[in-house]
Amino acid sequence: MSRPTSRLRIVLGVSGGIAAYKAASLLRLFTENGHDVTVVPTAAALHFVGAPTWSALSGKPVATDVWTSVHEVPHVRIGQGADLVVVAPATADLLARAAHGLADDLLTTTLLTARCPVAFAPAMHTEMWEHPATQANVAALRSRGAHVIDPAVGRLTGQDTGAGRLPEPEQLYAACLAILAGAAAAAGPERDLEGRRVVVSAGGTREPLDPVRYLGNRSSGKQGWAIARSAAARGAEVTLVAANVSLPAPDGVRVVPVETTLELQAAVQDAAAAADVVVMAAAPADFRPVTVSDSKIKKSSDPDAGLRVELVENPDIVRGLVQERAARGSGPLIVSFAAETGDADGSVMDHARAKFSRKGSDVQVVNEVGRDLTFGQDETTVHVLRRGTDEVLTVGPASKDVVADALWDTVSSMLG
């Protein structure tokens, strides 16, 4: 069951916390992925981000009270027509009012009339988050079916750090899609990856030159993270082999951290032995130094001396998995990634098709990479190739979560 990608009606509630500025980025993620968003801030929220900002980003007028456009009965109609209501940030005050059913502005009346999934993303100082009153309000909301997204741990206002930080917009967006997918799954067929074992690799490997320096690439691991998160949401048992990724672990996913390509190869091969699907979304370094210095390499006193580093090719992990499967006569479905740049010898797709033929994987995901392209970005465009057919599925520009779901739609159909 894929997450919804059709045009959705989202109500974005914003309460009066310093983290309100992050909600503007969350709004952009919704609108840029084609969804219709109505922003309902509290009066306090407008002290942090003004109404013109919300109106410009959503393309709609913004109100905080029930008296604006009263003939349209907004305090009832907004909640009734929504597919999702998400409040980000949700202050301690807003959580308390929602938990006790108060309805003294447009946002709280909308919360009472909504019959769609409702999510709260709390943001406040640690002491406020941990206070028994706040925890009781959170428990009350959850007991009624509301989704309360746990806050992140990190820098707060001033010099304080701790639990209570609003998660990053990309994480909130992914959580909202997961909530909608869960609602759809509850009303529809069983999850299509239930009982499947999935291995996903993510990030970029680093090959050390000395204790300080390494050869690496720009991969952030965001796409692999989205693929693992989507697989888990669809019922799979997921092992995520993470090469130098600083993102928080996806819920319900086993993470195996690695650094080098050889470590990545060993971890993937070990996990693949019992897997149904292996998705190689990581970006392994193609070469590694022949020797690694035990101490930091110093500059020479001669500025023209330079430094010569002898490199050796790293193994092709995907090709190795294909060969092992052939030797055993059975094994997982294998998905490879081709991060390519065009050059004088061919286009991105020319190089990708040659790589697909050479590696022997079952599915290949192709994307163009480079500075400000794919690596580290929140959106991407990919072309999905399947062995045995000339058809190409193009997805994007879209968020990496949407790309992940499209990939699993393809893989799920192949698994039968």
- Pairing verdict, β 9-14 and 84-90: parallel
Strands of 27-179 (E only): list them: 36-41, 84-90, 118-122, 147-148, 152-155, 161-165
137 an active-site residue? no
Alpha carbons 158 and 281: distance in angstroms, whole number:
38
Strand, coil or helix: 99: helix
Residue among 33, 120, 11 nearest 401 (CA): 33
Catalytic residue among 217, 244, 314, 367: 217
Cα separation, 235 vs 232, whole angstroms: 5
| Cβ neighbour number for residue 389 with a 10 Å cutoff | 7
Residue (of 81, 103, 191, 181) closest to 415 by Cα position: 191
Coil/strand/helix, residue 256:
strand
Q: 118-122 and 147-148 as β-strands: parallel, antiparallel, unpaired?
A: parallel
**DSSP H stretches of helix in 114-208:** 126-130, 132-143, 169-187
Where in the sequence numbering do the catalytic residues fall?
217
